Chains A and B, each alone.
Chain A
Amino acid sequence: MKNLEEEISKTLHSIDNIQRADPGPFFYTRLSAKMEVRPMPLRWYWKVAMVALLAFNVGSFVLIGNSNTEDTEDGLNDISSEYLYYVPDYELTFNEDML
């Protein structure tokens, strides 16, 4: 049992005074090569431009949508006012007959 505890302790201390591992000698050269093929990160002004374009598109859709709704609502109002004219007459006739 004592040997076991001792072995565990030795194992836990086996990384004391460990030296740092170094990457290969051409690490920086490989990094430079990798950076050449890497896509450029998006700069802030491109991000702003994309947001503005998106806002413009959304705004256009909303405006077009609203103008169409008004036209449709006008037409619907005409139809409903026309039908509303007949409905009370019918109801009145119906009620008189029943009486």
Chain B
Amino acid sequence: MYLERIGDRQAALALKQIVEDVPDLQYDLEKLVKENQSKVYNVCLSILQNPADAEDISQEVFMHIISHIGQFRNQSELSTWIYRVTVNKCLEELRSRKRKKRWARLVSLGGNFEEEVDVPHFEHPGVLLENKERADILFSMMARLPDKQNVAFTLHRIEGLSYKEISDVMKISISAVESLIHRAKGNLQKSLKVFYQKQWL
């Protein structure tokens, strides 16, 4: 059994909790992680656009899932719950980054702090080679979207979730999801237009 193999009391307790509280879920901890790690990491990477941060937050997601698995009552699909935790953790991280930026601006007291949102260069490893250049531009524009629009757009276009699945993950109505994605597309079109007009001048 996994418990004896790992010899880790905390992981053993966490797994025991999974089996005790949710008898239908006979998930082994390792299996649970390995089956879902790419989807969690992919969402984190697409939203946070930084591989190191994405891995850290993915680990946070699994630690949360393991310690709170007792609260999961099969009312929603396990994957929906995992996506929800992932999205919430990513939003927390984005908020924390914004707080740090605000604090840095305050500390600089009108010094040389740049007002422009600094979006570091990011390349998603899953993009086809011929699309790399355009995808990099698109990702930099996605990072400038409001958080909820970014999340809805990412779940739809990167993870391929349906509007219904996104509404379950984000706990909003399907029409709200439609509205978020529509506004995200509109904002992306506007910012891409400005970007290319500047480039081509």
Contact = CB atoms under 8 A, between A and B. Distances in A.
A78 B45 CA distance: 77
B138 A21 contact: no
Which of the four size classes fits the interface of chain B? 35 or more
A30 to B, nearest CB: 7
Interface residues of A, number: 27
- Chain B binding site: helix, strand, loop or mixed by DSSP? helix
Contact of A19 (B6, B11, B126): B126
Interface string B4-29: 00101011011000000000000000
B158 A11 contact: no
Contact of A8 (B13, B45, B189): B189
A12 B200 CA distance: 18
A15 B10 CA distance: 40
Contact of B138 (A4, A11, A35): A11
Contacts of A24: 55
A36 to B, nearest CB: 6
Interface in A72-99: none
Contacts, number: 101
Contacts of B55: 23-24, 27, 30
B134 A10 contact: yes
Contacts of A11: 134-135, 137-138, 192
B10 A21 contact: no
Contacts of B185: 12
B34 A28 contact: yes
Interface of B: 6, 8, 10-11, 13-14, 30, 33-34, 37-39, 41-42, 45, 54-55, 58-59, 62-63, 66-67, 124-128, 131, 134-135, 137-138, 157-158, 185, 188-189, 192-193, 196-197, 200
Given A18-B127, A19-B127, A21-B125, 19 more contacts: A4-B196, A7-B196, A8-B196, A11-B135, A11-B138, A14-B131, A15-B124, A15-B127, A15-B157, A18-B135, A20-B38, A21-B41, A22-B42, A23-B55, A28-B30, A31-B63, A32-B8, A35-B8, A35-B14
Interface of A: 4, 7-8, 10-12, 14-15, 17-24, 27-28, 30-32, 34-36, 38, 40-41
